[in-house]
Amino acid sequence: MALKADKKKVIVVKKKKAGHGGHHGGAWKVAYADFVTAMMAFFMVMWILGMDENTRASIEGYFSNPVGFKKGYSTGTSPISVGASPSHAAPASIKLVARRFEERRFDETSERIKDRLKEAGLASIGDRVEIVETTSGLRIELSDGGKGRDFFATASASMSEEMRQTLEIVAQELRPLRNLVVIEGHTDAAQYAGLYSNWELSADRANAARRIMESAGLSSSRVIEVRGMADRQLRNPANPLDPRNRRISIFLPFLSEAEQSDSVGYSTPDRGPGDLGVATPATGPPSGTGT
């Protein structure tokens, strides 16, 4: 009995831990970061969509070619970081990028017009559709050829089917652009008797071209002027009767130019011996009717 008394009773204490879920790790942080990034990108897109066209063009130019953009940007910084809004960036630099963007759009439009004329079987007409980018905008010249009856009937504003198709293709390709449009009609210097002079003839042909282009989808609000130039701006002044003097001219000024000018300022710029061989306007009233 004494041995049993000497033995100490062993007390075992059991501690139970409250139940908790397993360790979740940092996966939720990744998901949350993705969500915040997506929301920031969404608000950036909405912010950019609310800007004016030139500012959006400058931002697009930056992300398309950051290196080239910085070289052309005088301060060496992005317009996104200037002021509270990109619209307050250096105006000259913004216009430079916007101008390059427009030039690229004009180049693409010119190529599409030429390709579509070939696809439509108008290669012979397409050879007389000259598209030139000047310092003030895009000029499209549709010059007659041969006997001078390929585009319009003699001394008439009645156009041929080939001319109609050509104008429709041009209008459809100009439709996505935002530039204003000036349409001019030109005649040669042929002299005929009558009250219906080269002024009326050239204006009627330009108006006929406008109607066809608007029916093909060109917005009428973009046509800022329709002009009859008679025989005052000959394409080939050395030969006033050259059929190429009988033409329709379509001019699209750069948007940056249009914002600083009124309708009176949309004179056909860059017209001179160095541009398409066009002579400066002559003086004196016209007489007779050409073709």
Mean pLDDT score, 251-259? 78
Q: What is the mean pLDDT of residues 241-252?
A: 93
Q: What is the pLDDT of residues 274-285, one digit of tens each?
A: 343 333 333 333
- Average pLDDT for 82-101: 63
Please write the tens of the pLDDT for every residue from 29-42.
888 888 889 898 88
Pick from 191, 280, 194, 265: which is nearest to 232 by CA? 280
Q: Are the C-beta atoms of residues 129 and 248 closer than 8 Å to each other?
A: no
Task: For residue 234, tell me if it sits in a domain.
Answer: yes
* SS3 call for 272: strand
Indicate if the pLDDT at residue 5 is higher than 90. Answer: no
My answer on whether 82 and 133 are in the same domain is: no
Task: Extract the tokens encoding 91.
Answer: 């105006």
Asked, for residue 252, whether it belongs to a domain, the answer is: yes
Q: Is 40 domain-assigned?
A: no
Same domain for 258 and 146 = yes
Is 100 domain-assigned? yes
Element containing residue 258 per DSSP (H, E): helix 255-258
Residue bearing the bigger pLDDT, 52 or 3: 52
Place of tokens 């250096």: 90
Structural domain count of the chain: 2
91 — pLDDT class (breaks 50, 70, 90): low
Beta bridge partners of 228: 185
Is the model more confident about 196 or about 5? 196
Domain extent, residue 100, equals 54-107
d(CA 59, CA 37): 20
Given a cut of 60, whether residue 68 has pLDDT beyond it is no
Q: Indicate if 86 and 125 belong to the same structural domain.
A: no
Average pLDDT over residues 103-110: 94
User: What are the DSSP calls for 126-178, one per residue?
Assistant: HTTEEEEE-SSEEEEEEE--TTTTSSB-TTS-PBPHHHHHHHHHHHHHHTT--
Kindly state whether residue 220 falls inside one of the protein's structural domains.
Answer: yes
pLDDT in tens, 191-240: 777 788 999 999 999 999 999 999 999 999 999 999 999 999 999 999 99
Statement to judge: residues 163 and 193 lie in one domain: yes
Query: Quick one: what percent of the chain has pLDDT higher than 70?
Result: 66
What is the reported pLDDT for 287?
45
Assessment of whether the complete model's pTM goes beyond 0.85: no
Q: Judge if 152 and 76 occupy the same domain.
A: no
- Residue 97 maps to a domain: yes
Phi, psi (rounded to 5 degrees) for 252: -120, 105
User: Is 60 exceeded by the pLDDT of residue 143?
Assistant: yes
Which residues have CB under 8 Å from 94's CB, separation 6+? 54, 55, 58, 79
Instruction: Give the 3-state secondary structure of residue 247.
Output: strand
Q: What is the pLDDT of residue 278?
A: 37
Residues 147, 244 share a domain: yes
- In 3D, which of 135, 138, 115 has the Cα closest to residue 126? 115
> What is the reported pLDDT for 15?
65
Residues 49, 52, 57, 58, CA torsion sign: negative
Instruction: Assess whether pLDDT exceeds 50 at residue 269.
Output: no
Last residue of a domain, one of 85, 107, 129: 107
Q: 66: helix, coil or strand?
A: helix
For residue 204, the one-letter residue type is: D
Structure tokens at 124: 């012979």
- Kindly state the average pLDDT of the residues 144-165: 84
In this predicted structure, which of 99-103, 163-167, 185-189, 224-228 has the lowest mean pLDDT?
A: 99-103
Q: Looking at residues 71-100, what average pLDDT do you find?
A: 57
Non-local (6+) Cβ contacts of 75 within 8 A are 82, 90, 93
For residue 156, tell me if it sits in a domain.
yes
What is the pLDDT at residue 168? Answer: 96
State whether 82 and 178 are in the same domain.
Answer: no
Residues 205 and 77 in one domain: no
My answer on whether 225 and 97 are in the same domain is: no
Distance CA 50, CA 247 (A): 41
Residues 175 and 83 in one domain: no
Mean per-residue pLDDT, 90-107: 80
Least confident span in 135-144, 179-188, 263-272:
263-272
Q: Is 185 helix (H, G, I), strand (E, B) or coil?
A: strand
Q: Where is the domain boundary, 39, 74, 107?
A: 107
Residue 282 domain flag: no
Q: How confident is the model at residue 165 (pLDDT cuts 50, 70, 90)?
A: very high
Domain check: are 130 and 255 in the same one?
A: yes
Do 142 and 102 have their domain in common?
no
Q: Provide the 8-state DSSP code for 121.
A: T
- Matching residue, tokens 């041969």: 146
Residue 48 has pLDDT above 50, yes or no: yes
